[in-house]
Amino acid sequence: MNKKVTFKNLVDAWHNPRGRAAILLCGYLIFMIFVVGSLKSNLKTVPTNNSNNTTDESVSEEKNNVKYENYSNYEYEVKITSNDITNTYLGKKNNNKSLITDTNNQTYYLEDGILYIVTELGKTLYNYNTYDLDLTTLTPYNINSLINQATLNYTTNFANGNIEKNYILSLSAFAKLMFGSDISSSEVVSITTTTNNDLITNVVLDLSNYEKYKGSNINKFIISITYSNLNGVPEINVLNIS
């Protein structure tokens, strides 16, 4: 029987080598990774109240009408920071198919929840026995559910047209929504979104307080997901299983 592993397992998995390898495979974010082509948000731009924000007129009406929770075709970059170490994973998703590349340039293929390792001969079923991950954990749909339950903390308008919104969600609500656990805590998790032309281009989840609640030695645990090329990823085709 396949065991469905929740977000808690995903975070726990990150803290050992086998778990880290499994996480990059569902960078679907991670891991979907998750929009306007070639997005390069500059969050260090000085905030301004100038209403003359730039608009990318090349963005089609079709793209502007896509809601974040419905993203299903896009490229993404996932950065996972644990204390002072950051690992980056790149991916592309087209409906039920995804390609993920890790920092060693190894490519993985995900189709209908089944993971493969891609070689010159094609794709081979990838058997990682440590975890049986639920690869829907950090989809735009699920992250949007967190945002809907969170409280808006602040909004910042940038000169380049980006709009940054920070949300605060109680740790107890986060635990309940993501893995159905009832916990008692006064701490919060932070969710920051960057929007351009009404499209979410970046999401940052600061889960540091979750790590503290668990009693781990991780003082900073942040997941950043940047989306690009919304509805621009062609059909993903990989050779038959070798």
The domain spans of the chain are 7-228
Q: If you search the block for the tokens 């949300």, which residue do you land on?
A: 167
H or E segment to which residue 10 belongs: helix 7-13
Low-confidence ranges of the chain (pLDDT < 50): 1-5, 27-64, 129-136, 241-242
Q: For residue 40, count CB atoms less than 10 angstroms from its CB and return exposed for 0-12, middle for 13-18, buried for 19 or more.
A: exposed
What is the CATH architecture of 7-228? Answer: Clam (2.50)
Q: Are 186 and 169 in contact (CB under 8 A)?
A: no
Predicted TM-score of the model (pTM): 0.70
Q: In 3D, which of 110, 105, 109, 180 has the Cα closest to residue 142?
A: 180
Confidence at residue 127, expressed as pLDDT on a 0 to 100 scale: 64
Confidence at residue 100, expressed as pLDDT on a 0 to 100 scale: 87
Confidence at residue 36, expressed as pLDDT on a 0 to 100 scale: 30
